[in-house]
């Protein structure tokens, strides 16, 4: 079934009635003008070589060319192969705790790694379900929206670390709200949330939010990972045991009570993580109790585009209109001359049609090579298109992706820049800025990649992936700046001094440092009272500082 890629362009067809009205007014104006000139027989003699029928034909051809051009811009296309895939499944949002407490090693190698292993195995058990991922610590972020692309889900899962969320803490309530926002709110069934955490919740909204989700038909299941006895946390920045404000080692314990409460209020199941396969079996069985809905969806990404043919038809119509004259010919055109004109027209149009079709074939070959990870071959195909048609945005964009995959980052950036400058489509510009940001970020060019993500968001504020990568880049930049500052402070050299002046100063200091016995002017009792007063003053100051810290709304109570 043929469909339009850019259906919004079809709005331009509303101009066709205006063109017809304009034609009507032009014809009316011509008749009034002829009437005003004078004798009708004389006027007809003067304009006897003018053909109103050919004028009308030229107008019809222009209108048809306009319609064909608009349809070409909308790009009618037909999916290749089977267009629809039917599946039966549910939507599952996975909320993964990536706070620092998940680095505790009471479950080897640590809680976070075992949680990721569990999720990866569970994804394999849900082949027909849509999977989404939310990561959270002191804030919650949508790592990946709901998708049936499970390979992408595993890729995003592997990138989930404690560094992806700059704000530390544990806000389970925010994570549940983010999961709910990712669902289709029109449905009241077939939606589940799987929360994986040690339960050290630093807010009080989790249970309240769970009840709201249950009212909307969302099942909330929880998996507790950790030990009730608890253990210390190794800070990845210092590789030492993490300590609280008093200097005592932080002990992180599994809060089973909260996770059980969340599961109960969410009409779900709580499981204590013991063995990966065993927990996967139980959770898979729990999700299957929800039932499954039948969904038919489009699974193709490759289409047969018809816009090159429409552009060829458009060019033919315009050339025909160009050859039609409103003036009647002096003599009847012979069949031989008509054949010559037809052959000439065909020769003119043939290169154009072949050119458009060859470009489409080369891009298709490049796409096939890219899918097979033959990035060098893909680059050659895209470059062949660009050599003949430098303004081909699709080839430029695909070239950038292929060059990046092939390790030619600098050339890839140039290809993205060409799309940004040449494309009039906002979405192409936004995607090019985003891809440019990824390439720069992987090359450790943080300032440039930050600018690229910002430009992508200016064009498309709804791009959550660009927003997430921007936050990650800003956090890394702040960390690098702090490390550089610490290094500069450490490497600061003492100012140069005058050796002679230093010698005299040292002699004077040595002289001044000679002991000079002086009689004490303070009794022992006075000294004890003075010391007691100083200790009390210091205690009052510490109490005051603790009160200020407690009153600060921006400082989290815990950062693990």
d(CA 49, CA 329): 8
pLDDT by residue (tens digit) across 145-156? 888 888 888 888
SS (H, E, C) 236-302: CCCCEECECCCCCECEECCCHHHHHHHHHHCCCCEEECCCHHHHHHHHHHHHHCCCCEEEEEECCCC
Split at pLDDT 50, 70, 90, the class of 209 is very high
Please state the domain extents for the chain: 1-82+302-329, 86-297
Rounded (10°) angle between helices 172-182 and 206-215: 20
Cα–Cα distance, 409 to 400 (Å, whole number): 8
How deeply is 393 buried, as exposed, middle or buried, from its count of CB atoms within 10 A (0-12, 13-18, 19+)? middle
pLDDT confidence of residue 270: 95
Residue 81: pLDDT band (50, 70, 90) is low
Position 524 scores a pLDDT of: 60
Architecture of the domain delimited by 86-297 = 3-Layer(aba) Sandwich (3.40)
CA 266, distance to chain mean position in Å, is 30
Residue 6's pLDDT is what?
83
User: What does the pLDDT look like over 282-334, one tens digit per residue?
Assistant: 999 999 888 766 655 544 445 678 888 888 998 999 899 888 887 766 434 44
Give the rounded distance of the alpha carbon of 448 from its chain centre. Answer: 17
Assign residue 98 a region: left if phi > 0, alpha if psi is -120 to 50, beta otherwise? alpha
Rg of the chain taking only CA atoms, in angstroms: 37
Dist CA 73 CA 68 (whole Å): 9
Strands 270-272 and 84-89: unpaired
Name which residue leads in pLDDT, 509 or 475: 475
pLDDT in tens, 503-521: 455 455 444 444 444 444 4
Mean pLDDT of 101-127: 91
Cα distance between residue 9 and residue 379, in whole Å: 31
For residue 169, give every residue at least 6 positions away whose Cβ sits within 8 Å of its Cβ, in sequence order, or none: 99, 137, 138, 202, 556, 558, 559, 560
pLDDT of residue 396: 85
Question: What does pLDDT average to over the chain?
Answer: 79
Which tens digits make up the pLDDT trace of 5-57?
788 888 999 999 999 999 899 888 878 877 777 666 766 776 777 778 888 88
């Amino acid at each position: 079934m043929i469909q339009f890629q850019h259906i919004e362009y079809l709005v331009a067809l509303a101009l066709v009635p205006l063109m017809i009205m304009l034609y009507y007014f032009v014809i009316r104006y011509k008749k009034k003008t002829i009437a005003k000139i004078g004798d009708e027989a004389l006027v007809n003699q003067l304009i006897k070589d003018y053909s109103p029928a050919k004028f009308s034909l030229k107008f019809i051809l222009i209108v048809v060319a306009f319609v064909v051009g608009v349809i070409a811009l909308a790009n009618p296309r037909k999916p290749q192969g089977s267009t629809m895939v039917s599946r039966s499944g549910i939507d599952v949002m996975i909320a993964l705790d990536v706070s620092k407490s998940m680095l505790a090693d009471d479950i080897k190698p640590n809680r976070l790694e075992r949680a990721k292993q569990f999720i990866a195995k569970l994804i394999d058990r849900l082949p027909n379900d849509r999977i989404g991922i939310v990561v959270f610590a002191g804030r919650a972020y949508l790592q990946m929206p709901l998708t049936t692309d499970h390979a992408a889900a595993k890729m995003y899962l592997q990138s989930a670390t404690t560094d992806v969320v700059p704000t530390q803490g544990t806000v389970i309530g925010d994570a549940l709200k983010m999961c709910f926002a990712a669902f289709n709110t029109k449905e009241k069934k077939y939606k589940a949330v799987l929360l994986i955490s040690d339960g050290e919740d630093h807010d009080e909204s989790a249970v309240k939010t769970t009840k709201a989700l249950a009212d909307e038909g969302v099942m909330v299941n929880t998996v507790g990972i950790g030990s009730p006895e608890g253990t210390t946390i190794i800070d990845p920045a210092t590789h030492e045991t993490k300590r609280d404000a008093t200097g005592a080692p932080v002990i992180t314990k599994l809060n089973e009570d909260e996770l059980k409460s969340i599961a109960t209020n969410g009409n779900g199941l709580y499981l204590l993580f013991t063995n990966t396969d065993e927990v996967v079996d139980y959770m898979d069985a729990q999700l299957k109790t929800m039932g499954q809905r039948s969904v038919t969806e489009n699974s193709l990404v490759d289409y047969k585009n018809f816009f090159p043919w429409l552009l060829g038809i458009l060019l033919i119509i315009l050339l025909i209109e160009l050859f039609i004259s409103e003036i009647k010919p002096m003599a009847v055109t012979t069949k031989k001359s008509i054949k010559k004109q037809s052959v000439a027209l065909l020769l003119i149009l043939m290169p154009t049609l072949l050119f458009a079709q060859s470009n489409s074939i080369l891009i298709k070959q490049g796409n096939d090579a890219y899918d097979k990870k033959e990035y060098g071959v893909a680059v050659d195909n895209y470059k062949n298109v660009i050599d003949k048609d430098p303004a081909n945005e699709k080839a430029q964009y695909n070239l950038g992706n292929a060059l990046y995959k092939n390790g030619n980052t600098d050339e890839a950036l140039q290809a993205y820049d060409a799309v940004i400058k040449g494309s009039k489509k906002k979405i192409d510009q936004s995607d090019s800025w985003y891809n440019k940001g990824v390439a720069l970020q992987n090359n450790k060019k943080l300032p440039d990649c930050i600018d690229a993500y910002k430009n992508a968001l200016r064009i498309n504020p709804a791009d959550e992936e660009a927003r997430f990568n921007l936050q990650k880049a800003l956090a890394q930049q702040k960390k690098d700046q702090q490390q550089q500052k610490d290094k500069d402070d450490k490497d600061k050299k003492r100012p140069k001094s005058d050796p002679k002046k230093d010698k005299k100063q040292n002699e004077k200091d040595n002289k001044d440092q000679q002991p000079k016995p002086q009689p004490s002017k303070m009794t022992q009792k006075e000294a004890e009272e003075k010391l007691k007063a100083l200790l009390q003053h210091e205690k009052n100051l510490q109490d005051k500082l603790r009160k200020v810290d407690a009153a600060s709304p921006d400082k989290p109570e815990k950062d693990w």
